[in-house]
């Protein structure tokens, strides 16, 4: 089979204005970026809202606890969108996709693209994985302008009395650069500011990214930016963006980044690809604005949440859906034979060897994820994302289990066959959406204490026995009470490979406790991050970075990317 | 009079495809970025070249030694382009402008925009001064990917045996951030790489910027990137981008940034705004590609070089024109009563007070600049850029002097009147272009030694008595011989406020010597930078940064910017 980039480069794309027309948008409604990408102004959303245009149905794609290679959530999301498009042909109904934007930096390390795969990709794939429409660069600029304003504030006389040891705002760059993780800035004498310890994160880890992805509109964006806590003064009181007066400039820098990006899939299904917050220290899904706009533009919208359902779906429901008032109609849980095998005790190197028993043992991971989604009162469809090494016996393990518990299940071959490989899945999803309306329920209330929220997630979603707090976390708990921020939802930062905080505990572990090492306050985004392990917010490059084999050929084609 | 941003916001722009049509480009020839900006593929240039489309005439706008406020070169460039458009109406001939892109960072400090001013601006002004089409962000990304690859190379085992004390590649950001000038990176233990001293420059100071602006096409871009020297090994031999294998990825990141950006002036004159290298440590003019493309698209192209003619025009001729084979037809030297007054000994605070005698004394600065341009065998037109405080007597000083020496001169009121205020200037320029063809001559040969080149510029252009070299510069001179790089042209980094290296020596100083503090090798760009003073490559923010008054209003308008 051809590589992702070969497939993407051979694709015949439709002009973006034609894609826009297909969802009822005129040429005036879109701002083209080249021939195959466009931004859609929020005015278009406001107009549709004023016209009381009804919302479409929202379908979330999530997954079991993944293997390091990933289980194909993005590919399934794109493939399902394409399959729905095929199913709906001639009905007058439309489908659309809402996805995160990939980060540029990791493309030059070792990670592949994040625009789907095989015959289920969003295109133009190279553009989407490189600068795209500049959203992440705008976030980088807004973030770093704030950083410069903080150091300038201190340098120029410091009316806010910053404690330079308690500045909570790093700088960011969209590059894998371990040497920037910990730095000392302000060296070289009086003209260069105050020396202090600091660091750089990758752009997707910026709170500005999380803010942009949760903002309802430009005014809400500015209001959230105002609330960001950038550090503490010598009396340990928080200093916010509003205290510095930086929110206006930051909003100006983000005025285009806030507009969703319209592209298409390989089968011309319209897709909004917008925003890309980290799935650990942030909530890990595309922007609220893109999801809400897609729901106005199409009858069925397929979207995705990062990591496994214990993290991605939980945060999608408790953070994104609650804030934005979204009510999804169905949840697809992607499972693979490979991942179940791993949860059944097989080593990473043996995943290609048929192992019926291991797949069977691994079912307990799938079952817990399915139960979890059902706890939110959401109907589940299991999608088995097929890999070439899967045997019919192994695949039957999953479908038999689903049949036994009455859970709709479908084989998905969207990687090799595009939308045609997802027709069964689309059918099951449509059936669930139309006939088993859910009605989202939350597992905790915002009025609960932070400890209760964490305890609820750990016990009910993870299946753990309890929670321990490191001293640093206890200090922040106290601070959250003082600051009156206990009403915020919790954003768990935990390994995606296990329900526990130990990545090696596969399957459905029990009796474990989760240790909260620290709590970070993302007051602008509007959540409290509960950190349960080492969270890497600036990746490094491997010994042989992809950057060394990427090239621009004489015919203008890119090679070596993915 | 209204502010620049008010005028720009009230402007009725034409759709960019209509601007493109006016210069013979179809909708397929351009890649729109929103409704009023577009990129033009290099294929369009290659097609016109294959068709043997003749080149238009090139007009350079430069200036006398400026005051800190600037003498209105960009405004004159835009205004002259507009005036030529008016003059040429009905003749079937067209005019166009080629300008640098402004840097984003300084917009949030205290500098105004760099897109002209008053009724002679390129628009959409806010976009051009903010992210525009993302070119500078792409340069930032390519530059910093290389930096990450260098540190990763060292961290992973260092086959090139970098001497970490001799790394010649900073990181860059498009922000005014003094705290980043000098930093220590790689702190925090083994996982975070090797600790070492480093720093950040502003993006326009990146050698990648200079490379992009001098590249003939994508292949030349890659070839120039290969040659960039990033540091030295333990045997003091240079290590290049090619040694690391980073040129392919960097070229991929720059594949769109290399395409010129088409916008329009307030009077719908087409303008290519592309590239923006520093005018001190680089050559300070827009990209070669944009200039050459404009010459294929229009009959008259007005372009600009940074700083005064001693720096901007000299480098434009010796570096840009020589490399690109450009032969300008006329040079406009912008003079102002204010600046001449300053050269005549008046303090910065007294420039609004009429002072006939000071203007007269200041003429010696203008005369030297005019003589210099004539040394390149280029015909000169003097443009007197009118300010409200100028008196008729003061302005007559300049026109009388020009008349005496047979130099065409015109009053320019393009700031207040747009193209209508530049008709006399346009007439004089057209006359010179058609009737006094120049034929560019260089003052030094590339085969001359570096010392001879510097000596020639200092004695002939600056009017100095000689050159001194600091020990550090002498070491690099030796290194340049060893490396076989003495054939490169010299890029002078000197104060723009004086012909000498002392900014306080106004007028036409004599008898001074220039001290070369250090020589920097920009092997990719293809020049040797001769540094004659403190060169600031990362600005800082002022006590009251513009960032604190910039805002996005509820109607979507930007306020406080310029």
Spell out the SS3 assignment of B322-349: HHHCCCCCEEEEEECHHHHHHHCCCCHH
Which of A514-523, B35-44, B112-121 shows the lowest mean pLDDT across its residues?
A: B112-121
Position A320 pLDDT exceeds 70: yes
* Residue to test with chain A: of B156, B177, B189, B219, most A Cβ within 10 A: B177
Question: What value does the mean pLDDT of chain B take?
Answer: 96
Residue B164 pLDDT class (50, 70, 90 cuts) = very high
CB–CB of A251 and B552 under 8 A? Answer: yes
How far apart are the C-alpha atoms of A69 and A72, rounded to whole Å?
Answer: 9
B158: exposed, middle or buried (Cβ count in 10 Å: 0-12, 13-18, 19+): middle
Question: What value does the mean pLDDT of chain A take?
Answer: 96
pLDDT tens string B448-471: 999 999 999 999 999 999 999 999
Distance from CA of B34 to the nearest CA of A (A): 4
* A436 phi, psi to nearest 5 deg: -130, 60
Distance from CA of B38 to the nearest CA of A (A): 8
How much is the pLDDT for B119? Answer: 97
Residue B141 pLDDT class (50, 70, 90 cuts) = very high
pTM listed for this prediction:
0.97
Q: What residues of chain A lie within 8 A of the CB of B152, using their CB?
A: 177-179, 540-541, 545
Q: What residues of chain B lie within 8 A of the CB of A129, using their CB?
A: none
Q: What residues of chain B lie within 8 A of the CB of A157, using their CB?
A: 543
- Assigned token pair, B500: 């000498």
User: Measured between alpha carbons, how far is residue A332 from residues A171, A260, A324, A327, A329 in Å?
Assistant: 37, 24, 21, 15, 10
Q: Report, as an integer, the average pLDDT of B5-17.
A: 94
Residue A125 pLDDT class (50, 70, 90 cuts) = very high
How much is the pLDDT for A112? Answer: 61
pLDDT tens string B215-254: 999 999 999 999 999 999 999 999 999 999 999 999 999 9
Residue B113 pLDDT class (50, 70, 90 cuts) = low
pLDDT tens string A500-511: 999 999 999 999
Residue A360, C-beta contacts closer than 8 angstroms, at least 6 positions apart: A344, A397
pLDDT tens string A474-483: 999 999 999 9
Chain A residue at shortest CA distance from B182: A187
pLDDT tens string B273-305: 999 999 999 999 999 999 999 999 999 999 999
Nearest to A548 among B179, B222, B245 (CB): B245
Distance from CA of A290 to the nearest CA of B (A): 18
Q: What residues of chain A lie within 8 A of the CB of B145, using their CB?
A: 108, 175, 547
Distance from CA of A476 to the nearest CA of B (A): 24
Chain B residue at shortest CA distance from A130: B253
Residue A236 pLDDT class (50, 70, 90 cuts) = very high
Distance from CA of B279 to the nearest CA of A (A): 23
Nearest to B32 among A32, A188, A548 (CB): A32
* Residue to test with chain B: of A31, A34, A148, most B Cβ within 10 A: A148
CB–CB of B130 and A253 under 8 A? Answer: yes
* Residue A528: alpha-carbon gap to chain centroid: 17
Q: Report, as an integer, the average pLDDT of B332-348.
A: 95
pLDDT tens string B365-417: 999 999 999 999 999 999 999 999 999 999 999 999 999 999 999 999 999 99
A367: exposed, middle or buried (Cβ count in 10 Å: 0-12, 13-18, 19+): middle
Which of A337-351, A440-454, B263-277 shows the lowest mean pLDDT across its residues?
A: A337-351
How much is the pLDDT for A111? Answer: 61
The secondary structure of A64-94, three-state, reads CCCCCCCCCHHHHHHHHHHHHHHHHCCCCCC
How much is the pLDDT for B533? Answer: 86
Residue B50, C-beta contacts closer than 8 angstroms, at least 6 positions apart: none
How far apart are the C-alpha atoms of A137 and A251, rounded to whole Å?
Answer: 14
Residue B436 pLDDT class (50, 70, 90 cuts) = confident
CB–CB of B249 and A548 under 8 A? Answer: yes
Nearest to B253 among A130, A157, A176 (CB): A130
**What proportion of chain B, given as a percentage, has pLDDT over 70?**
99
Could you check whether the bond before residue A124 is cis, i.e. omega within 30 degrees of 0? yes
Q: A72 labelled as ligand-binding?
A: yes
Which of A89-98, A149-158, A396-405, A431-440 shows the lowest mean pLDDT across its residues?
A: A431-440
* Residue B307: alpha-carbon gap to chain centroid: 8
How far apart are the C-alpha atoms of A253 and B416, rounded to whole Å?
Answer: 30
**What proportion of chain A, given as a percentage, has pLDDT over 90?**
93
Binding region of B for ATP:
67-74
How much is the pLDDT for A110? Answer: 83
Give just the sign of the alpha carbon dihedral B41, B42, B44, B45. Answer: positive
User: Measured between alpha carbons, how far is residue B246 from residues B125, B139, B189, B533 in Å?
Assistant: 35, 14, 26, 32
Nearest to B131 among A137, A182, A249 (CB): A137
CB–CB of B138 and A131 under 8 A? Answer: yes
Residue that the structure tokens 């004599």 belong to: B510
pLDDT tens string B538-555: 999 999 999 999 999 999
Q: What residues of chain A lie within 8 A of the CB of B151, using their CB?
A: 177-179
Q: What residues of chain B lie within 8 A of the CB of A220, using their CB?
A: none
User: Measured between alpha carbons, how far is residue A78 from residues A153, B115, B286, B369, B432 in Å?
Assistant: 46, 42, 42, 63, 62
For residues B320 and B282, the answer to whether their CB atoms sit within 8 Å is: no
| Nearest CA among B56, B108, B73 for reference residue B284 | B73
Domains in chain A, start-ordered, CATH in brackets?
Answer: 4-133+257-433 (3.40.50.300), 136-252 (3.30.1510.10), 450-531 (3.10.410.10)
Distance from CA of B29 to the nearest CA of A (A): 11
CB–CB of A134 and B137 under 8 A? Answer: yes
Q: What residues of chain B lie within 8 A of the CB of A180, using their CB?
A: 171, 185
| Nearest CA among B540, B553, B555 for reference residue B110 | B540
How much is the pLDDT for B534? Answer: 87
Nearest to B182 among A130, A187, A245 (CB): A187
Residue B71 pLDDT class (50, 70, 90 cuts) = confident
Q: Strand order of the sheet with strand A518-522?
A: A490-493, A527-531, A518-522
Q: What residues of chain B lie within 8 A of the CB of A31, using their CB?
A: 34-35
How much is the pLDDT for A158? Answer: 84
Chain A residue at shortest CA distance from B32: A34
* Residue A440: alpha-carbon gap to chain centroid: 20
How much is the pLDDT for A172? Answer: 98
3-state secondary structure of B249: helix
How much is the pLDDT for B112? Answer: 61
pLDDT tens string A258-311: 999 999 999 999 999 999 999 999 999 999 999 999 999 999 999 999 899 999
Q: Report, as an integer, the average pLDDT of A19-26.
A: 96
For residues B520 and B531, the answer to whether their CB atoms sit within 8 Å is: yes
Distance from CA of A108 to the nearest CA of B (A): 8
ipTM of the complex: 0.97
How far apart are the C-alpha atoms of B300 and B85, rounded to whole Å?
Answer: 9
**What proportion of chain A, given as a percentage, has pLDDT over 70?**
99
Q: What residues of chain B lie within 8 A of the CB of A556, using their CB?
A: 218, 255
Between residues A69 and A223, the one the model is more confident about: A223
CB neighbour burial string for A158-171, b if at least 16 within 10 angstroms, e if fewer: eebebebeebebbb
- How many helices, marked H, and strands, marked E, lie in chain A? 20, 26
Nearest to B179 among A39, A141, A192 (CB): A192
For residues B386 and B412, the answer to whether their CB atoms sit within 8 Å is: yes
- Assigned token pair, B241: 């981008």
Q: What residues of chain A lie within 8 A of the CB of B222, using their CB?
A: 552
Q: Give the CA count within 13 Å in the CB-facing half-sphere of A439.
A: 3
CB–CB of B175 and A148 under 8 A? Answer: yes
Nearest to A108 among B137, B249, B550 (CB): B249
- How many helices, marked H, and strands, marked E, lie in chain B? 20, 26
Residue B460, C-beta contacts closer than 8 angstroms, at least 6 positions apart: B372, B375, B443
Neighbouring CB atoms inside 10 A of B333's CB total 26
For residues A291 and A98, the answer to whether their CB atoms sit within 8 Å is: yes
Position B111 pLDDT exceeds 70: no
Residue that the structure tokens 């026109």 belong to: B399
CB–CB of B148 and A550 under 8 A? Answer: no
pLDDT tens string A5-16: 899 999 999 999
Q: What residues of chain A lie within 8 A of the CB of B36, using their CB?
A: none
How far apart are the C-alpha atoms of B327 and B440, rounded to whole Å?
Answer: 6
For residues A519 and A474, the answer to whether their CB atoms sit within 8 Å is: no
pLDDT tens string A535-556: 899 999 999 999 999 999 999 9
């Amino acid at each position: 089979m051809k590589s992702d980039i070969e497939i993407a480069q051979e694709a015949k794309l439709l002009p973006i204005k034609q894609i826009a027309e297909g969802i009822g948008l005129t040429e005036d409604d879109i701002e083209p970026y080249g021939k195959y990408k466009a931004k859609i102004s929020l005015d278009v959303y406001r107009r549709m809202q004023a016209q009381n245009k009804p919302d479409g149905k929202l379908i979330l794609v999530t997954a079991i606890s993944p293997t390091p290679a990933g289980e194909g959530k993005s590919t399934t999301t794109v493939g399902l969108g394409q399959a729905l498009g095929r199913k709906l042909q001639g009905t007058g109904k439309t489908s659309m996709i809402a996805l995160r934007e990939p980060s540029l930096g990791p493309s030059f390390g070792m990670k592949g693209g994040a625009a789907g795969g095989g015959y289920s990709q969003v295109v133009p794939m190279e553009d989407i994985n490189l600068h795209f429409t500049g959203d992440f660069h705008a976030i980088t600029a807004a973030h770093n302008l704030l950083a410069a304003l903080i150091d300038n504030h201190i340098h120029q006389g410091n009316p806010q009395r910053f404690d330079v040891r308690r500045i909570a705002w790093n700088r960011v760059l969209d590059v894998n650069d371990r040497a920037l993780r910990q730095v000392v800035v302000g060296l070289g004498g009086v003209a260069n500011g105050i020396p202090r310890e600091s660091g750089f994160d990758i752009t997707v880890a910026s709170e500005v990214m999380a803010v942009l992805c949760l903002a309802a509109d430009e005014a809400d964006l500015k209001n959230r930016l105002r609330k960001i806590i950038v550090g503490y003064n010598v009396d340990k009181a928080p200093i916010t963006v509003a205290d510095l007066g930086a929110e206006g400039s930051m909003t100006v820098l983000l005025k285009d980044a806030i507009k969703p990006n319209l592209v298409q899939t390989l089968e011309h299904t319209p897709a909004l690809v917008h925003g890309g917050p980290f799935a650990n220290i942030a909530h890990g899904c595309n922007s609220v604005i893109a999801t809400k706009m897609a729901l106005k533009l199409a009858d069925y919208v397929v979207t995705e949440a990062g990591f496994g359902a214990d993290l991605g779906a939980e945060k999608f429901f408790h953070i994104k859906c609650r804030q934005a008032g979204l009510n999804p109609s169905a949840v697809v849980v992607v499972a693979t034979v490979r991942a179940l095998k791993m949860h059944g005790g097989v080593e990473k190197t043996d995943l290609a060897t048929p192992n019926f028993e291991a797949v069977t043992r691994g079912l307990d991971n799938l079952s817990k994820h399915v139960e979890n989604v059902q706890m939110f009162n959401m109907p589940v469809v299991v999608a088995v994302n097929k890999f070439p090494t899967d045997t019919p016996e192994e695949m039957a393990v999953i479908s038999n289990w689903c049949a036994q518990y009455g859970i709709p299940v479908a084989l998905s071959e969207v990687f090799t066959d595009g939308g045609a490989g997802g027709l069964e899945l689309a059918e099951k999803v449509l059936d669930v959406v139309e006939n088993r309306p859910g009605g989202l329920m939350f597992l905790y209330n915002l009025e609960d204490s932070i400890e209760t929220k964490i305890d609820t997630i750990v016990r009910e979603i993870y299946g753990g026995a309890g929670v321990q707090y490191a001293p640093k976390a206890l200090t922040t708990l106290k601070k959250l009470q003082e600051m009156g921020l206990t009403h915020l939802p919790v954003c768990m930062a935990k390994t995606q490979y296990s329900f526990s905080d130990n990545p090696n505990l596969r399957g459905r572990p029990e009796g474990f406790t989760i240790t909260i090492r620290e709590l970070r306050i993302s007051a602008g985004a509007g959540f409290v991050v509960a950190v349960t392990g080492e969270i890497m917010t600036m990746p490094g490059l491997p010994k042989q970075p992809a950057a060394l084999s990427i090239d621009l050929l004489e015919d203008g084609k890119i090679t070596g990317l993915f």
